[in-house]
Chain A
Amino acid sequence: MSKERKKVINPEITWKDTTPGGMILDAGNAEDFKTGDWRSMKPIWLKDKCKQCLLCYPVCPDTSILIDEDGKRTEFDYDHCKGCGVCVEVCPFDAIDFVEED
């Protein structure tokens, strides 16, 4: 998913390779930081119940509800979803289940 980066800053980068003073050279680089492994609860999209009302999409604080080119919601981005459960609360059609992360 990563776009081309001027500098990939990951946990392995050495002091010689990292940017001066931690300067960030790439806008949107939060994408490289996989926050999905913070999750203790996992939202499950129940496609059959979903009415595509899109009320869940704007409330996700991590932009982890993905929308396809037809404007339909698709799967969660589990690399970044932190499992806060806001989308679960918002969905008026019980189309998002919330289960313990295994």
Chain B
Amino acid sequence: MAIRDRLSGNEAVAVAMKQVNPDVVAAFPITPSTEIPQYFSSFVADGKVDTEFVPVESEHSAMSACIGAQAAGARTMTATSANGLALMWEMLYIAASCKLPIALSVVNRALSGPINIHNDHSDSMGARDSGWVQLYGETNQEAYDNLIQAVKIGEHPDVLLPVMNCYDGFITSHAVENIELIEDEKVKAFVGDYKPEHYLNDKENPIAVGPLDLQNHYFEHKRQQAESMMKAKKVILEVAEEFEKLTGRKYGLFEEYKMEDAEVAIVVINSTAGTAKYVVDQLREKGVKAGLIKIRVYRPFPVDEITAALSKCKAIAVMDKADSFNAAGGPLFTDITSALYGRVDGIKVINYIYGLGGRDVRTDDIAFVYDALLEIVKTGEIKSVYNYLGVRE
């Protein structure tokens, strides 16, 4: 029987880490992810895990220690937020190019500046091209479930990529919700032992990791990374299927909410999906064919699947909790519109940048977006593609 509990998102993630019992956790505290290493270090102190906990002096060192440990043959995890992730930047790319399946929980927070500790997605969105698989979760349950799946996805021989488990700072990380935990032994059996083919601590087979890689080879290694990312989609779905057998909880590349006959839809990431589903329900009661797509897997980006899911819509609003500052639209908007291009024609797509720096997103804001979409359907006209939602004009 699953264990019913009430936990904050961070506590749930720390419990998932305890159950996986990784060989090494190297972390540096930063709001709002601090509780993860805090809870986890108490598990270490209480002897509840066998993990070597490395309290480093910065996030750059945290990721560097994770890279060294994972290359040595250890299953490794860490957590961070915002500027902590930014300080890891250099090492994120190295973790990915060395094909090291580190699991990193990113508790999404606005990246300075101006300095701010609240939620948006500017931290992990900036890392979208670093070569990490990125999973996003709406609730505490999803953050917990995604981390357990992240281990198995990253370590799959067809993938061998590091994985980010992203969820909203404070909203998901600190709010206490009901959660269903999996029994320790079932988590252990699900993730299995970490058995890398090559690792530095294998003294019979000495290797070198991360050598200088010039014009003759760098390109080939980047092609390998691209291949791993292409193969990751299938692996993510296989792992989700196995996870569903274990827990009954179904995961895909994204969640479709009332999309079967939807004419207007929004595409959103993380906790705002919860608010938006409520608005969809209200609109449905009024007979409006509203739907929603919540992205779970952002890297690799599920181009074909998302196109199929949106193909029957008349108008779509893509919601970005980060701006790309390309003067044209946020990162999710760019990905959605390029997915649609040449695959389906005639769908009107607009973009809203919303909730930056933790600005509250209310049902009224979401209702405003659906109204704008309905107006576009009615008139056939888009007044403005790239918009800021709820900013003081």
A18 to B224, CA, bound (A): 9
CB of B97 within 8 A of CB of A23, answer: no
The segment from B120-128, B166-174, B214-222 found at the interface with A is B214-222
User: Which of A18, A20, A25 is the one whose CB lies under 8 Å from B217?
Assistant: A18
* Chain B residues positioned under 8 Å from A25 (CB to CB): 198, 205, 207
0/1 string, A18-43, CB within 8 A of B gives 1: 11111111010000000000000000
* Chain A residues positioned under 8 Å from B206 (CB to CB): 27
CB of B223 within 8 A of CB of A15, answer: yes
Which parts of B96-130 form the interface with A (CB within 8 Å)?
97-100
Given the interface pairs A15-B227, A18-B224, A21-B99, the reply to whether A9 lies near B217 with Cβ below 8 Å is: yes
Number of residues of chain A lying within 8 A (CB) of chain B: 14
CB of A15 within 8 A of CB of B198, answer: no
A15 to B213, CA, bound (A): 13
Given the interface pairs A15-B220, A15-B227, the reply to whether A22 lies near B213 with Cβ below 8 Å is: yes
A13 to B207, CA, bound (A): 19
Contact of B248 with A by CB under 8 A: no
User: Which of A11, A14, A22 is the one whose CB lies under 8 Å from B211?
Assistant: A22
A21 to B222, CA, bound (A): 8
Contact of B210 with A by CB under 8 A: yes
Given the interface pairs A23-B207, A25-B207, the reply to whether A18 lies near B221 with Cβ below 8 Å is: yes
Given the interface pairs A15-B227, A27-B206, the reply to whether A22 lies near B217 with Cβ below 8 Å is: yes
Contact of B160 with A by CB under 8 A: yes
CB of A15 within 8 A of CB of B208, answer: no
Contact of B246 with A by CB under 8 A: no
A22 to B98, CA, bound (A): 8
A91 → B minimal CB distance (Å): 32
0/1 string, B157-193, CB within 8 A of A gives 1: 0001000000000000000000000000000000000
User: Which of B205, B210, B227 is the one whose CB lies under 8 Å from A21?
Assistant: B210
* Chain A residues positioned under 8 Å from B224 (CB to CB): 15, 18, 20-21
* Chain B residues positioned under 8 Å from A9 (CB to CB): 217
B294 → A minimal CB distance (Å): 33
Residue of B nearest to A25 (CB): B207
A15 to B228, CA, bound (A): 12
A79 to B217, CA, bound (A): 21
* Chain B residues positioned under 8 Å from A15 (CB to CB): 219-221, 223-224, 227
CB of A22 within 8 A of CB of B207, answer: no
A25 to B206, CA, bound (A): 7
CB of A21 within 8 A of CB of B221, answer: yes
B157 → A minimal CB distance (Å): 10
Given the interface pairs A23-B198, A24-B211, A25-B198, the reply to whether A18 lies near B205 with Cβ below 8 Å is: no
A13 to B224, CA, bound (A): 13
Contact of B328 with A by CB under 8 A: no
CB of A21 within 8 A of CB of B220, answer: no
Contact of B308 with A by CB under 8 A: no
Residue of B nearest to A12 (CB): B216
Contact of B209 with A by CB under 8 A: yes
CB of B208 within 8 A of CB of A24, answer: yes
CB of B208 within 8 A of CB of A23, answer: yes
Interface residues of A (CB under 8 A from B): 9, 11, 13-15, 18-25, 27
Interface residues of B (CB under 8 A from A): 97-100, 160, 198, 205-211, 213, 216-217, 219-221, 223-224, 227
Cβ-closest 9 pairs across A and B: A15-B220, A24-B208, A15-B223, A20-B99, A21-B98, A21-B99, A22-B213, A11-B216, A22-B221
List 6 contacting pairs A-B, 8 Å CB cutoff, sorted by A. Answer: A18-B221, A20-B160, A20-B198, A21-B221, A23-B211, A24-B211
Extra 9 A-B pairs, beta carbons < 8 Å, given A15-B223, A21-B210, A24-B211: A15-B221, A20-B160, A20-B224, A21-B98, A23-B98, A23-B207, A24-B208, A24-B209, A25-B198
